[in-house]
Amino acid sequence: MTGEQARGCARSIRVGAVSEQIERSLVLVKPDGYRRGLSGEVLRRIEAKGYTLVALAVTTPTAEQLATHYAEHEGKPFYEPLVEFMSSGPVTAAVIEGHGCIPGFRALAGATDPTAALPGTIRGDLGRDWGLKVQQNIVHGSDSPESAAREIGIWFPELS
């Protein structure tokens, strides 16, 4: 293999590896975060992390959206309180994009329980201890590429 061929091969591997890591994720600033005026701070942290905002909307979720979004949890004890909470007011919905943005945003968000979330995370810095109301934890982020694709289709059908 010549030097030129080796450089071309490395370039294509590097480009291939990078393009495979570009992801999209749905992020929701939940009604508690929206009510407290934290949407801008959450979006600032997302952009400071280096992710791109692809789509952004402020909306009050419909019963149909929430039933579809949380379908896997239907019948679980926390399902009804979660749907009730998520329909209690506006949310800021965003599609973000970047290298490894799904695990990256989840790390940025912190542990689900704001009391257990580490300082420096969204929930650790901005979350409140609501006792058993763990769903009131400021943000939601997709947990896998498959979930992201499904969730983006629910909240931003024009992008699916």
Whether residue 4 is predicted with pLDDT greater than 70 in this model: the reply is: no
Q: Global pTM?
A: 0.85
What's the pLDDT at 131? 61
Helix (H) or strand (E) holding 4: helix 3-21
CATH number of 22-159: 3.30.70.141
Which tokens in the block code for residue 131? 């006792």
Give DSSP secondary structure letters for 44-106: HHHHHTTPEEEEEEEEPPPHHHHHHHTGGGTTSTTHHHHHHHHTSS-EEEEEEEEETHHHHHH
Q: Which of 4-13, 108-117, 140-149 has the lowest mean pLDDT?
A: 4-13
More confident residue, 78 or 6: 78
Per domain, the residue ranges of the chain are 22-159
Per residue in 53-101, pLDDT (tens digit) is: 999 999 999 999 999 999 999 999 989 999 999 999 999 999 999 999 9
Measure CA 49 to chain center: 13
Instruction: Report, in angstroms and rounded to the nearest whole number, the Rg of the chain calculated over CA atoms.
Output: 18
Question: Would you name the residues annotated as active-site residues?
Answer: 140
Binding residues for ATP: 30, 78, 106, 112, 123, 137
More confident residue, 130 or 160: 160
